[in-house]
Amino acid sequence: IHGEGGVGKTVLAMRLAQELRVEFPDGVLWAEVQGPDSLLSILRSFAASFDQSLDNVGTLAQCSARVRSILQAKNCLVVLDNVASTSELELLLPSEGRCATLVTLRDRDIASTFEGDLLRLAPFDIRESMTLLVEMLGLARIQAEEAASNKLINFAVGLPLILRLIGGTILSTDSLSLAEYAKLLQDKLVELPDWEVLADQERKVRATFEVSFQRLLPALQPLFASLGLFQARHFSVAAVAHLNQLSPAEATLYLTRLTRAALIQPMESLAESGDTATSGRYQIHTLLQLFAFAKLSDVSTPLSDWRMRLHDYYTQFVSRHSGAAIDVEWINVAGMLQTALAEKDKGKLAALIQPLTEAEVSNIGYMDSRGQYGLALSCLSALLTDEKTLDQAAIHYKCGVFARRLARHEQAPDFLKRSLELLAPYAPTAALALSQAAVYEQLGRYYQQRDIEEAMDHVMAGLELLTTYESETANLQRNALLNVQAAVMFHSGVDRQAAIRVAENALASLGEAQNLVRLNLLINLANLYAQVSDMTRAYQHTHHGLTIARELGNKRKIAALVSNKGALERRQGQISEALQTIEDARQLFVELADFDNVGTSLNNLAMLYYQLEQDETAEACLAEALDLAEAHGLDELKLFVLTTWSKIHIRAGAYDKAAAQLAECDRLIPVNTGGTSFYLLPYINLHKGRLSYQRGQMDDAIRYLELAIREGRTQDRETVGLAQATYAELLVARKQLESVRSRYEEAITILVDHDIYEQALARLSYANYLRNHESADSAKEIAELMAAAEKTLAKFQPEP
């Protein structure tokens, strides 16, 4: 059903749902779509209607797929009210089955992209308008004032919204005749000369709103006007009560009267799904909310006082609530933050942002767990001063964490080191040691892939600070530091099993506590076990981590774990599963506005499509990732993308394009210095070596490949395997066969842990070498190599 605002799409959908309910044994699922932020709660409510939970389901796309699976066997009517985009419709539409779907929207073009019947809901004609007015006011009253009734109908231009406001206003004012009301409307229309530029229908809508407002009791007028202050279309009784300095009982009474006047409606009146998030909340039509805001200038209370009351309410709200409760009010809370930011009101900003970024071990509160990094960093940065206080140390620390989350690689260490400088002059206490250790943890995380020695220095400094403290919080922080230490040890390549033992011991010391430190340890251990080919433990830790992340409601960690799961599936050759999982991770990173990881997911998808020999799709992914990198200044992402793209061009024989991309890498990170992204150098040098080899520039190829192998020994073993395989091919081409066998064997051994596709190619190349250059005794070995390679490569063939 599509049509203009106020034409009655929702009312028609409700009536249809009521009449058709008997046709659907499994009931009616109703959802009012209020933008992207409402989609997850809608899917959860749909699942809950059939006693199913989405608590253990990660991304929005996965939740959508799960609900489709639930509905596949059901016979129900799904009503999606007020859909505003194709993406909303795609996520909420059931799959083909026994369910029917009814959608209301304003934009016909959205509906036309999906299969289904289209119905344009036109405004009422005169007869239909009269019928509605009779239903509201009674036939006797209409017949007694027939001429006035006709005037009212003509004025309403067939919009049920206006007709209901007319009826509601008359019913709430017993002494008002239809003729008097019609005159009020006409007079109000004449009083709006500045509206001459608007269409006649728009002027009549405004005039109707004006008269409805003026006919309210004086005490109700400011309350109605105050509803225009909310950023969302919905609001709670508690918020309205605080805003208007009323008791909850008084606010409920006033809201009931506004409902009777057809100016607002209770949210639960539209909820067929039993979603408790709507309980005690009301909503207002968008047009009426805009009108309400305009009327604030007509009431005696100054706008600044209204804003201060609303700020006070939400400051108290975020201080007393967390998680799901804030989720319901997030649009309103974010609006308060943005208003304070725009007004440069540091007092208001600090009062709101502090409880929303309450620092815990390895976490910075609600905004960190919900991925609101950009807004958090903007708000906190506005509070920075030159004062040398503990408060400023805390703000710099939080800025450093959010800058690291946003891949602001130049800002993050500066913020964190400034925090340490501000903490240094204070006398040592347990609280101070914990604060300093938290900063050292973040610095260790920042440097673990950039400067291993500096990363370890920060970790050890943090651990030393905590040696004399044995509190529960100190133990959590100590284990968080040990987690970073394990990652740094592992990347250094000194003793990987020792690194794993450090992390496992830290995990064991936490007992059964389900917290963020435990979650981070599980994520790290899953990665470490994958690197040493213990895929069973890698999967176990990943799934355990996902369970905890969902219990904690930490979207950032859910996204990271889903991404890791996709990487594990790729390594195991589960290609279709990996494609779906990595796409799920990408969508979740999009929801978090984590553009660095969105780009990384696109790069990972491109690698899979490359292996499937779908180069056009791979390049489309890389183009999108490159756009993100350039738009957000993500140089490390750009390096990854350019190097991956050069790999595609090398295989396709587009050597000039590959050379240009690798030259751009040199510009971004000079090879002689390494810069902050030294861990990417082996990967870049590998592809320089491959390009030189394909161009017949053998000396250059050897130089780059040897660099890749030497640098990769401690930083990137996968690159070592790839470089050894290429080096072996080069030596065969030059008829220098002494070390060929050992290079192939090392390549195959390493790549089994990292990339089975490249391992299969190495097996084929090795078999070809043995066939042409070794004795006949190699026949069995050749057959085994060929069989293993063909079995692996079969996984990368398109499905029928």
| Residue 751 covered by a domain | yes
Which CATH number covers residue 32? 3.40.50.300
Would you give the DSSP letter of residue 28? E
Q: Residue 468, class by beta-carbon neighbours within 10 Å (0-12 exposed, 13-18 middle, 19+ buried)?
A: exposed
284: nearest Cα among 305, 259, 257, 301? 259
69 and 145 fall within a common domain: no
Amino acid at 231: Q
97 and 169 fall within a common domain: no
pLDDT of residue 797: 67
| Residue 251 covered by a domain | no
675 and 790 fall within a common domain: yes
Contact, 632 vs 595, CB < 8 A? yes
Last residue of a domain, one of 376, 402, 428: 402
782 and 687 fall within a common domain: yes
pLDDT of residue 174: 67
556: nearest Cα among 372, 395, 401, 403? 372
pLDDT of residue 269: 45
46 and 136 fall within a common domain: no
| Residue 676 covered by a domain | yes
3-state secondary structure at position 480: helix
100 and 17 fall within a common domain: yes
Domain that holds residue 206: 126-214
Rounded to two decimals, what is the model's pTM?
Answer: 0.67
| Residue 415 covered by a domain | no
| Residue 286 covered by a domain | no
| Residue 602 covered by a domain | no
14 and 83 fall within a common domain: yes
Last residue of a domain, one of 214, 245, 264: 214
Last residue of a domain, one of 112, 136, 169: 112
708 and 732 fall within a common domain: yes
131 and 104 fall within a common domain: no
| Residue 99 covered by a domain | yes
Contact, 288 vs 265, CB < 8 A? no
133 and 98 fall within a common domain: no
Amino acid at 646: S
pLDDT of residue 800: 40
* Residue numbers of the chain with a pLDDT score lower than 70: 55-58, 174, 189-202, 268-279, 493-494, 670-679, 714-715, 753-754, 775-776, 797-800
pLDDT of residue 380: 96
778 and 687 fall within a common domain: yes
pLDDT of residue 195: 45
pLDDT of residue 163: 85
Q: Tally the domains of the chain.
A: 4
Contact, 82 vs 107, CB < 8 A? no
51 and 145 fall within a common domain: no
CA pair distance 105, 85, nearest whole angstrom: 9
32 phi and psi angles, rounded to 5 deg: -95, 120
Helix (H), strand (E) at residue 308: helix 303-320
pLDDT of residue 691: 94
Helix (H), strand (E) at residue 501: helix 496-509
179 phi and psi angles, rounded to 5 deg: -65, -40
| Residue 465 covered by a domain | no
